[in-house]
Structure 1
């Protein structure tokens, strides 16, 4: 499985699919995407905080909303991917949770 296929599989085709299996390549390509996405999104958030630091925006509140937003978007696909990866590795699905 290639990089784009892994992202498509995890985010669109198997958003919260707990059945089936996930290959190592699907798992690691998506983890690479997740890390790169978080890195660039964190840089953008840092730039926004740097620009608006003098405004009424509290950096802690903004960071909290950013983190909660990322969690809301990625928790279900990451959970589904982990459960399917554990099943492919021969481990119990409950171990992933």
Structure 2
């Protein structure tokens, strides 16, 4: 899948769809697109907020479909997010109550959540399952020489 095909798929065809599977190229091209667009828009605060909010849903849905391609449930993406959110909430509470031990615990949980996000990103580098799995047909066409992504 090309860069443009990935953007069309994620923004126009499967904006809110968590059904099916996403190839590595679909996921990583869309991630690159999201990072670049968010960086460029970061210089215009109001536009940056609107663009970031518009890209949240397709970013989540393509990550869920990428999990499906690897044969895993899409709920897997919640683990790092839960750690980061829980850690941040504990840290905010710790600042309010001036509890150093609670601040340390919140920091550790937040860091573990962030490391989980890094681990999940590394996991997304691996190839998906060949052929059909419980989430649908694979996005790849296998030949003797190579695998290509279906249109």
TM-score by length of 2: 0.48
Equivalent-residue separation in structure 2 for 1:78 and 1:27 (angstroms): 9
1:18-76 Cα offsets, whole Å, 9 max, x none, are 10000000000001111111111113x1xxxxxxxxxxxxxxxxx4x555423420111
Structure with greater Cα Rg: 2
Judge which range, 12-21 or 68-77, deviates more. 68-77
* 2:26 alignment counterpart: 26
Q: Which has the higher contact order (CA 8 A, sep 6+)?
A: 1
Partner of 1:73: 54
RMSD between aligned alpha carbons?
A: 1.5
User: Greater helix percent: which structure?
Assistant: 1
Q: What does 1:1-97 correspond to in 2, within 5 Å?
A: 1-43=1-43, 45=44, 63=45, 65-66=46-47, 68-97=49-78
User: What is the SS of the residue equivalent to 1:15?
Assistant: coil
Aligned-partner Cα distance in 2 for 1:4–1:66: 22
Segment drifting more, 87-96 vs 68-77: 68-77
Name which of structure 1's ranges 68-77 and 20-29 shifts more when overlaid on structure 2. Answer: 68-77
Structure 2 runs not aligned, ≥5 long: 79-151
